[in-house]
Amino acid sequence: MAETRQAKRFFVSGSVQGVGFRYFAKRAADWLGLTGYVRNLDDGRVEIYAVGSRVQLGELRRELERGPLSANVGKVIEEPAELAPKFLERFSIERDA
């Protein structure tokens, strides 16, 4: 039985803008088979909205906590989110908030 898809929103703080974090998150999401988006926020954090199984989302969180070598991840906050039909087909890098 396939695990049902769920959505999570992750907020990553630290030195995570201007260091390739969005591209890192997209590669991780694509590798894990997730859909959703990543974008920079005005307050210096990066937001990741991801849709997938509980296991896939857990793996993504571990990747986000690690981050690319050029980043310094301070904290990852995770929240449940609604399934947004617009983001069920692919994972994209969105314009900054």
Residues marked active site are found at: 22, 40
**Euclidean distance between CA atoms 64 and 86, whole angstroms:** 23
**Euclidean distance between CA atoms 71 and 54, whole angstroms:** 26
CA 68, chain centre distance (Å): 13
